[in-house]
Amino acid sequence: MTHSPAVAAARTRLLLQGYILGIPLWWVLGIDFIVVQGLAALLVVVCLTAHRRFSLSDHLLAATILSLCLSAYLGGFLQGSEHSRFVAALYNLSFWVCGLILVQQVRHILVHDPDGRMRLLWAGHVAFLMLVACGWGAVALAYAVGDLSLITPSVFGLLVGDRIPDSAPHIQRHAWLVFTLADWGLPGVPMPRMRVFGPYPAATAATVAALGTLSLLYVAERHGRGLRFLVLEAVVPFTLALTLTRSSLGGWVMGFVLANLLFGTIHRRLTAAAVAVMAGGMVLLGSLDVGEAASYRQYSSESRFENYAEAVERTLDLAPILGLGIKPREESHIALGSHSTYVSVFTKGGILGLLLATAYLVLLPAARWTLAWMMTATGAARLDARGVTELRILLTLQVATWVWLGFEDLDAPATAAALLFIGMALIGDGTGRTLAGAGPRAQARPGRPLLRRRTA
């Protein structure tokens, strides 16, 4: 029995809402590393029509997936005969496949479900509030009890934790619920590092950024840009700071500055300029002892960049075009080519994979954002206040994502990857409507009424 596009879109929207609202549950159960694949399979079954049309970005993502799959088969399975690493590569590749499915399904919802967008944003808003409550509460509890590391087994860990092999460190992480972990902070001051809803802090940070974006969009459209929106705008970077993840916090600040300079009012542009001057001045003038603070993360930074250099050198020597197909794991505690999406794709997919992934993740979005800004600056795109606010929020997430991808793997944290791909779909929708000359919220979609603000 076939259903209309609207009915299918409503059903997929319910699935996505359930997944987003269930993020805390998947984390507590310890099964978040496989839920995304199950969600993607259900979405395809419920609404196969969402995948009949491919945009340019879809073709680039599909080409990236095929390239990485071919490299994994040739380099990891046939030539390398490293079957365990080949399986790991396929698992990582599954997140790219799920990403393609999520992007197309979200786009289908935005077109065919009149209330789908606001309902998805509402789910993200609720999930973000749960994350803030859990994360902030964990940090406060860590200080209150005097134990900066709050760790307990997940349900998955209680059932099979002792039977997980050492060769599967990614799965081992899901055997534990790490609320906070003692780590570096200010010079000479240890701090609890927030790790809720993620297997490691960088994954938590990406989850914060993605859910925070959904929450900001919801509040901006539902309640306007008043005090509630301004408070939430400050809550997001503060929560990012609790993860002590430099790439995410720095990327969010850079995105905030750029977005407000390009799409902000005169007051926001002045605020963004002041933030940029203050951040630059703190570094250049040494008002903050950056050197001493950085010493806490010296090992992490050194091992990370040594890993990058070795991965690039080995890939260029052995398989520069198609890559190694896998990320070899040797004596190091991390696999070769890890902790950077760009280096990881180059290691596994070579020059071909890197070109395709960079075109999808960076070049095409950058071109769309450049054109969107030119159209708004020249008045070719008629944006209302909400449309400008949406572009500003989405550009902040875009820049934060670009920076995060430089230092973390997109195909490792399941929840963060799914949310970032949902964010990419919203970014594509927002910039796409701007390029069409209407602006994201300036004109209703066919069959979809404009959202109305409540009046007193």
CA 194 → CA 21, 64, 304, 310, distances in Å? Answer: 20, 33, 21, 31
Model confidence over 158-215: pLDDT tens digits? 998 778 877 677 788 888 999 999 887 666 678 899 999 988 899 999 999 999 999 9
Please tell me whether residue 152 adopts helix, strand or coil conformation. strand
Burial zone of 1 (CB within 10 Å; 0-12 exposed, 13-18 middle, 19+ buried): exposed
Residue 443 scores a pLDDT above 80 = no
Q: If you average pLDDT over residues 252-264, what whole number do you get?
A: 91
Let me know how many helices (H) and strands (E) the chain has, helices first: 18, 3
Quick one: how far is CA 168 from the chain centroid? 23
Residue 2 scores a pLDDT above 60 = no
CA 182 → CA 136, 242, 283, distances in Å? Answer: 15, 12, 25
At residue 301, the pLDDT reads 60
Q: If you average pLDDT over residues 282-290, what whole number do you get?
A: 52
Q: If you average pLDDT over residues 48-73, what whole number do you get?
A: 93
At residue 302, the pLDDT reads 60
Kind and range of the H or E run holding 194: strand 191-194
Q: If you average pLDDT over residues 356-379, what whole number do you get?
A: 93
